[in-house]
Every structure is written in structure tokens, then in C-alpha cells.
Chains A and B, each alone.
Chain A
Amino acid sequence: MLSASRENLTVRLGYILRRFLFLVFVMWTAATVLFLIPRMSRVNPIRERFNALARSTGYAPKDLESIIASYELKFGLDKPLPQQYVDYMASVLRGDLGVSLMSYPKPVAELIGEALPWTIGLLGVTTVLTFLIGTVIGALAGWPRSPKWIKGMVPPLMILAAIPPVILALLLVYFIGFRLKLLPMGGAFSAGLTKEFSLPFILDVLSHAILPAFSLILGSAGFWALGMRGMGITIQGEDYVNFAEHKGLKPGRIFYWYYVRNAILPQVTSLALAFGGIISAGVLVESVYGFPGIGSTLSAAILANDYFVIYGIGYITVVAVAVSMLVVDLLYPLLDPRIRYDRK
């Protein structure tokens, strides 16, 4: 018994190690791709930046070429490619993703570091809430004993899900923020407040988060509900659910242990993917509400041709997806014993 469990432990540790190495591999690949793209494309980020500046301000520096040359020297772009690659990788390892052109000389990592907590706070929380609300409604809607009104909730949710979250966000801002003035129309906190860990500040942040959160929840709960209902209807016809009834179990027991526990498995994978995608998912909604998260940073960077920020956000998006997949791969065998650590 003891030796068996010890063996089990080695298998598990081996699996975790392998998955971890895979994560490192994904991060390295992503970094390499991000290294190669700007160097393979004809677009010179610095030149583009100055051109954009010239277009918007009408001011074109006379000695543009020499300015660009001096920037390239500063970023080491004059060195041979292998040397650049080694330097680049070393800086990525140090967490250095370059500097922003838009808010020079602020490092990209710092820019992301400021925006990320807001995005995780808003999108992380809404993703969990949406998952819970949608999954519960879907599970109940697929269960034959549920009252009719619960089954009736899925179609309206689907209609809401069919409306792009931006439109939903605009509607909510207009009616609740602008017309009824019930909630702030945008931003993450009221101007004049200092960022501090105090009750009034937290309440202020929450009141600002309600509308964006609602747009995100209303916009995607329907997908979770539909997925769970579909899976639930399949599971509810399974022999093991029938056999549970033959055993004389109470409906509540069957609902959770035989029905939900099995139907939820694919939802968990989707949840991990949704977590990985929160950065891209928030772009439009964050912009509508002027919410200072990664999404807003990204759209600002795109508008300003701030390539290094775009690359940096691209990089952490890949990392976020890879990390969520790692987490799900590690947790999944706990949820479904058929998936084992020692199998691919």
C-alpha cells in the first residue's frame, strides 16, 4: 500500500514536472516569435512611431534618420542578430519587456503591471461569476424536475449572448449611467480619490465596476448556460443516472453527485480557456468604460503604434493561456479519475 502510493507520488511529480517544462517551452516559443516578428517585418516600430507623431502633430523632425539611428543604438538593434536574441532573452527572463514608446521611458512591464490588477479584478471576478451563474442555470435547465421558469431563462440569456458585449456596455452606460445616473459612467474610481486601502475607496471602486461587470456577465452567461444544459441533457440520459434512481436515491443527491459532477467536466476546460482569454475579452468593454485595465492599455497602444507595449501584452496573453492550461491539466485528474497523471 505504502509503496503503491509512493509510486503514485513519483508518477504525479513526474507529470507536474513535464507539464511545467512544457509551460517553459511555450513561453520560450512565444518570446522567440515576438523577437522575430519585428525583425522580419519591414515595419520599423520607431520610424512608425515618429511618422504617427508627425501625422498627428504636424511636426516632423528634420533629422529623423539620425534620431532613429540613435534609438536603434540604444535598443541594441545595430548588433548582430544572435547577439540581439541573447540579450533579448536575458531581458525577458529578467521580466524586462522593453520600454513604451508612447509613454517613454516607462518600461512596458511597469505599464502592464499597473493595468493588470484592474483587469484581473474586473474580468477575473466576472469570469468566475458568469461561469457560476451560467452553469447553475444551465444545470437546472437540463434537469427534468426543474420548474418551467428556469428552463425559460435560457432563451433570453442566449439573446443577450448574441448581442456583442460592447453594444450591451454602451446601452448600460447610456441608460443607467447617463439617463438614470444610478452608477458612474466610466473609470475605475472617482477623480479626486487617492488609491488607498480604505472602505470608501473600495466602495467607490465597486460602484464603478458594477456596469462593466454587468455587461460582461449578461453578455456571456448564456454561453455557459447553453453548454451546461446541453451536457446535462446528455448526462441525464446516462445509465448511471438511471441506476442511481433505481437505487432509490433522493433527487437532490442524484442532481449533484451523478448529474452535475459529470456534466461540469467540459465546462471546467472552457473556464480555463476563458481565464486565459480575459485580456483579449476585456479590450472593448474596458475601452467603453475607460477602465484602466490591460484592454484599454492595448487599444491605446494600437492607436499610438506603440509596438513594444503591443508585443508585451501579446506575450503575457500567451503566458496567461499557457498557465491556465497548466492549472487545468493539474486539476483535471482530481475532477475526473479517468484522466490520469501518467497518460498524455
Chain B
Amino acid sequence: MTSAVLQVSDLRVTYYTDSGRTRAVDGVNLTLYAGERLGLVGESGCGKSTMALALMRMIKPPGRIESGSAIVGDETDNVDMLKLNEEQVLQARLSRIAYIPQGAMNSLNPVMRIGVQMIDAIQAHRPKATKTEMREQAEAALESVELKRGVFHMYAHELSGGMKQRVCIAIGILLSPKVIIADEPTSALDVVVQRQVMETICKVQEKIGATVILIGHDMGLMCQITNRVAVMYAGKLVELSTVREMFTNPMHPYAKALIASLPNLDNKGVFRGIPGLAPSLLKLPSGCVFHPRCQYAMDVCKTTMPQQSVTKSGRYVYCHLYDKDGNQVSGTPLIKPEAVTN
């Protein structure tokens, strides 16, 4: 049995802006196991990056982590990212949990050679390492993301977008962290390079036995690569299932609508969206945040927040259609993915 390497519970992050409080991450629970790949999907602005940044303890004002814990590591060696002091957080970043940023195009310092930026990172965590050791480690990391060792001597402007993305991945894996978060690692790349970069991430992850959280909008690409998918809506993780379960039998009405909106050969040419707009995080609907757009909404949904249901197979869902063991409450409409019933 593989062990848990990331346990997030009741994570809450709020941005205090002039126009009000934005609950960008609202009570997220999540457990990930070694070697696992999780896809985190959801509409723009639903809080995916904020959640990742909170795990790195990189939320800056006006944002604040309100509560929660994020335990990184196995039973024998773990830390709670949200309880470490500042010095310890610096040490934990990259060595225990790494974040590959959303904007890889601009994530490399234009005036420093790639190699220097890599050695920088190693040195911050292993001050005793010698120059040759560090250089060997950096070049090996470049090789493992299928870049030439010579990239070590280059500057960011001499690299293509895909190469820059790979360099960021190489930096992310330098210290073999247990958890790697890749935030939309491919959104600025063309489809072919996207695929290559994704495959690189997977290969590297298998090599160092980490767990990966892939953040993205592209359900299609995501599902070919990940084991499980988490769907986020307005700061809440509304469903977490294996890819197969998510596609054949989504439980949450929003997840179902997302799957149904994916193009496939049967509904070619028919564009299906989700009716209504994502709510403003400043003024969330009462009860279940999805109720104004949910075709299954009941009276209870308008007033009461749904509780977490956990099925026998370990799926999570937050919806009044299910009891706490994830069984459908009798008398409620059955949910099946449209694409399959059609």
C-alpha cells in the first residue's frame, strides 16, 4: 500500500480587497499518495493557483491563509507547510514541495545564466555541496527533461518557450521533492510541445517517485495523463474521483456538466456550455454555490451547504444528492453523463 504524501485539510484562503473578501479557497480537503498524478480543473478564477500557492506558503497580501493544514511527506518524515516558521518554509520549498509556475515564459531571470539559477536553488538547500557536485546535479536535471547539458550555459532569451518550460521543470525536480505542482504547465505552448512537456513531467515524476498535481483547463489532455481528477468550483473542491469514474459516472452536477461540455465524436458540432455564469467570489450564492446553475437544485440546496460524502471507492463529492457514504438519496434524479446517455 502506498502512503499518503500530501494531506490537505480544511484549507481556507481569503483575499481582502477593497471591494470585499474573496474566499478563493474554501475548506479544501485532499489526500494524495506517492506516485499519483492528480488533475486539478475548474473555471478561470475558481482558486486553483491560490490553492497551490497556499501549499507553498506563497500567499501574499492582500491574501491570507485562514486555516487548515498541509502535511507534506510520508509517516516517517513530514512537515505541515502551514505551521512552519519562515526559515523552515524556505527550506521546505523546492526540497519537499515544488511549484512549477503558470508563467514559465517569464519565470527565468533574464540576466543570469540558466546554470547559475539552478545552482542558486541547490545552494540554498545544500550549502555544503561543492561546485562540481552542484553542476553535475543541475546538468543531470536538464538531461532528465530532455534538454542538452549545454543549456546550463545559456540565457533564457536563447531558449524557446518549450525549452523554458522544461528548464522550469528541471528546477522543480532538482531536489527530488515529494510533491510537484505544475500550474498550467503547457497553456502557452502548441499542442505537440504540450504533449511532450506533459510526458516529460510524467517520466520525471516516476523517476523520483513524487506525486504531481497538474493544474489546467484542458480536461482532455489532463485525463490522458492523470490518475485522479479534482474539480474545483468557486473555491470549493466539489468532486474528486478517478479519471475513469469521472468520465463514466460523474457524481457532482457541475462535474457532469463539465464532462458533457467536452467535444467528442457523438456530439460533434454541438457546442454545449454550462448555463449561467460562474459566481463572483465576492458575492457567493447561499447554500450550495452551484445552485443557481444546477438543473438538479432542490430547496435544501438554496439554504444549506452540502457536506462531504466519501464513497467506498474513495471518491469525494459535495452535493445534497448524496448521503455521507456517497449513496444517492432516494427520490432525487439520477445523474449520468450526457455524452453516454445520448
User: Are both chains from one complex?
Assistant: yes
Q: Which residues of A contact B157 (CB under 8 A)?
A: 337-338
Q: Which residues of B contact A242 (CB under 8 A)?
A: 58, 101, 107
What's the Cα separation between A240 and B105 when bound, in Å? Answer: 9
Bitwise, B114-153 to A at CB < 8 A (1) or not (0) is 0000001100110000000000000000000000000000
Stretch at the interface among B66-74, B92-100, B286-294, B310-318: B92-100
Given A253-B120, A337-B111, A248 and B93 contact (CB-CB distance below 8 Å): yes
What's the Cα separation between A337 and B112 when bound, in Å? Answer: 8
Most buried by B among A244, A245, A246, A257: A246
What's the Cα separation between A98 and B121 when bound, in Å? Answer: 62
Min C-beta distance of B328 to chain A, whole Å: 42
A–B pairs, 20, beta carbons within 8 Å: A144-B60, A239-B101, A239-B103, A240-B108, A242-B58, A242-B107, A243-B168, A245-B58, A247-B94, A247-B120, A247-B171, A248-B94, A248-B124, A249-B121, A261-B109, A261-B111, A262-B111, A337-B111, A337-B157, A338-B110
Given A240-B108, A257-B120, A262-B110, A246 and B155 contact (CB-CB distance below 8 Å): no
What's the Cα separation between A153 and B239 when bound, in Å? Answer: 52
Q: Which residues of A contact B105 (CB under 8 A)?
A: 239
Binding site for A on B (CB under 8 A): 56, 58, 60, 89-95, 98-99, 101, 103-112, 120-121, 124-125, 155, 157, 168, 171
What's the Cα separation between A246 and B95 when bound, in Å? Answer: 10
Number of A-B contacts (CB under 8 A): 78
Binding site for B on A (CB under 8 A): 144, 238-240, 242-250, 253, 257-258, 261-262, 265, 335-338
Min C-beta distance of B119 to chain A, whole Å: 11
**Structural contact, A246 and B56, CB atoms closer than 8 A:** yes
Min C-beta distance of B187 to chain A, whole Å: 14
Min C-beta distance of B164 to chain A, whole Å: 11
Q: Which residues of A contact B90 (CB under 8 A)?
A: 248-250
**Structural contact, B109 and A258, CB atoms closer than 8 A:** yes
**Structural contact, B107 and A239, CB atoms closer than 8 A:** yes
Given A242-B58, A337-B157, A248 and B92 contact (CB-CB distance below 8 Å): yes
Q: Which residue of B lies closest to A264 (CB)?
A: B111
**Structural contact, A238 and B155, CB atoms closer than 8 A:** no
Min C-beta distance of A295 to chain B, whole Å: 37
Q: Which residue of A lies closest to B175 (CB)?
A: A248
Q: Which residues of A contact B99 (CB under 8 A)?
A: 246
Q: Which residues of B contact A336 (CB under 8 A)?
A: 110-111
Q: Which residues of A contact B111 (CB under 8 A)?
A: 261-262, 265, 335-337
**Which 5 pairs across A and B sit closest by C-beta, in order of nearness?**
A248-B93, A239-B106, A243-B107, A247-B121, A239-B103
**Structural contact, B121 and A337, CB atoms closer than 8 A:** no
Q: Which residues of A contact B94 (CB under 8 A)?
A: 246-248
**Structural contact, A248 and B91, CB atoms closer than 8 A:** yes
**Structural contact, B58 and A240, CB atoms closer than 8 A:** no
Min C-beta distance of A247 to chain B, whole Å: 4
Most buried by B among A242, A244, A247, A336: A247
Min C-beta distance of B149 to chain A, whole Å: 13
**Structural contact, B125 and A248, CB atoms closer than 8 A:** yes
Min C-beta distance of B274 to chain A, whole Å: 31
- Other-chain residue from B60, B91, B109 in contact with A244 (beta carbon distance below 8 A): B109
Q: Which residues of B contact A265 (CB under 8 A)?
A: 111
Q: Which residue of B lies closest to A258 (CB)?
A: B109
- Other-chain residue from A243, A244, A337 in contact with B155 (beta carbon distance below 8 A): A337
What's the Cα separation between A338 and B104 when bound, in Å? Answer: 18
Q: Which residue of B lies closest to A262 (CB)?
A: B111
What's the Cα separation between A238 and B230 when bound, in Å? Answer: 29
What's the Cα separation between A242 and B168 when bound, in Å? Answer: 12
Min C-beta distance of A227 to chain B, whole Å: 18
Q: Which residues of A contact B171 (CB under 8 A)?
A: 243, 247
What's the Cα separation between A144 and B112 when bound, in Å? Answer: 22
**Structural contact, B108 and A246, CB atoms closer than 8 A:** no
Q: Which residue of B lies closest to A245 (CB)?
A: B58
**Structural contact, B121 and A240, CB atoms closer than 8 A:** no
Min C-beta distance of A84 to chain B, whole Å: 51
Q: Which residues of B contact A335 (CB under 8 A)?
A: 111
Q: Which residues of B contact A337 (CB under 8 A)?
A: 110-111, 155, 157
What's the Cα separation between A262 and B94 when bound, in Å? Answer: 24
